[in-house]
Amino acid sequence: MAVALATSGFVSPVLGQTVSDKAAAEGLFDQGRAAMQEGDFNKACGLLERSQHIDPAVGTLLYLAECYEKSGRTASAWATFREAADAATAVKDAQRARTGRERAQRLEPLLSRLTIQVAPETQQLTGLVIQQRDKQLQPALFNVPVPTDPGEYTITATAPGYEPWKGTVTVPEKAGRVSISVPQLKKGSEPDAVAAAGAALPPAGSTAPEKPAETQGAALNSPTSAAESQADSQRTMGLIVGAAGVVGVGVGTYFGLRTFSKNSDAEDHCPNGQCRDQEGMDLTAEANNAATAANIAFGVGLAALAGGVVLYLTAPSPHSAAQTNTLKARVGPGSITLGGTF
């Protein structure tokens, strides 16, 4: 029972945060690649972004950067290729690091840059917020030409006690240089304070209804009710842990099948174990990742399933639960024996 309870404490994080998240990331990645092949780059980039957010990977970054490039987002592509190169260097993947650097260098001459010039008087305002497409601009980027994707941008500036300012600027394609100036903000009237601090408080003198003292005492002093509640809680815990085990086995099965599929695809690109192109390397890496996930899911799933069964079957019956439970342990050579009444 102790093993089952301990298992129930870590089954949920492992399945929920590692295996299930990895499965979701793999699914999003596959959908993103399919959308790229169909030429729907806006959809593809969104799917790859979500996959990278859930389960960061060098291969996903390279595909995402290529998606940005094909959709015309040159600055995002350039930055993502550089990020992929750094990530590949960190894991000593020389080939992908070289690919990321070369692709970034090829894009650099095509970058357009946007400069947001902020008046010195405005920069000194307390609480100043300057946003570019609803994303706050850090003060370190004021008056600096920043690589920016082509398109139209709305720039806003706000500060407490001053009138807000808004302007628009269009960043051209291929090595454009544009700027927009945020002027000195004009003084404005302070907004009126809204007094509503006590709106949600109960009326003075009112109190919450209390449970009668005799009813409380009866509930606390009833051994049968307490024992039945304990038994029900243990059975519920057993069902939850067992269900997590079933999920783990199912996820393990999914990744096991995925391993065979990816290995089969990789054989076409990697005869005799030698990969001839990037896609073959990606498929091999995906097969290895899927095999690892399958092993984890099967192991955790089987442990949780066994723990759930133990928890459910050892839950006391309503009649016996009202009795005093006892547990005895005896340690012998190479064994531990547990016994008692439940």
Which residues partner with 216 through β-bridges? none
Is position 5 within any domain?
yes
273 or 305: which leads in pLDDT: 305
**Contact (CB, 8 A) for 62 and 86:** no
Over the stretch 165-177, which tens digit does the pLDDT of each residue have? Answer: 999 999 999 889 9
**Contact (CB, 8 A) for 26 and 288:** no
State the pLDDT confidence band at 194, using cuts at 50, 70 and 90.
very low
Asked whether the predicted pLDDT for residue 97 surpasses 80, the reply is yes
Is position 148 within any domain?
yes
Specify the pLDDT at position 123: 92
| Exposure b/e, 272-281, CB count within 10 A at least 16 = b | eeebeeeebb
Average pLDDT over residues 279-301: 78
Q: What CATH number has the domain bearing residue 169?
A: 2.60.40
Is position 22 within any domain?
no
Specify the pLDDT at position 190: 52
Q: Quick one: 313 and 232 in the same domain? A: yes
Is position 40 within any domain?
no
> Last residue of some domain: 158, 182, 206?
182
Q: Report how far residue 172's alpha carbon sits from residue 155's, in angstroms, rounded to the nearest whole number.
A: 16
Instruction: Give the DSSP per-residue string, 268-290.
Output: HH-GGG---SHHHHHHHHHHHHH
Is position 323 within any domain?
yes
Is position 81 within any domain?
no
Q: Report how far residue 303's alpha carbon sits from residue 293's, in angstroms, rounded to the nearest whole number.
A: 15
Specify the pLDDT at position 211: 44
Helix (H) or strand (E) holding 165: strand 165-171
Q: Quick one: 306 and 231 in the same domain? A: yes
Is position 42 within any domain?
no
Q: Provide the domain count of the chain.
A: 2
Is position 247 within any domain?
yes
Give the strands of the sheet with 146-148, arranged side by side.
146-148, 112-118, 177-182
Q: Quick one: 136 and 240 in the same domain? A: no
Q: Quick one: 167 and 238 in the same domain? A: no
Neighbours of 120 (CB within 10 A): 9
Q: Is the pTM of this model over 0.85?
A: no
Q: Report how far residue 114's alpha carbon sits from residue 64's, in angstroms, rounded to the nearest whole number.
A: 23
Q: Quick one: 227 and 300 in the same domain? A: yes
Q: Which domain holds residue 173?
A: 112-182
Least confident of 16-30, 124-138, 189-203: 189-203
> Last residue of some domain: 182, 211, 232?
182
Q: Quick one: 259 and 323 in the same domain? A: yes
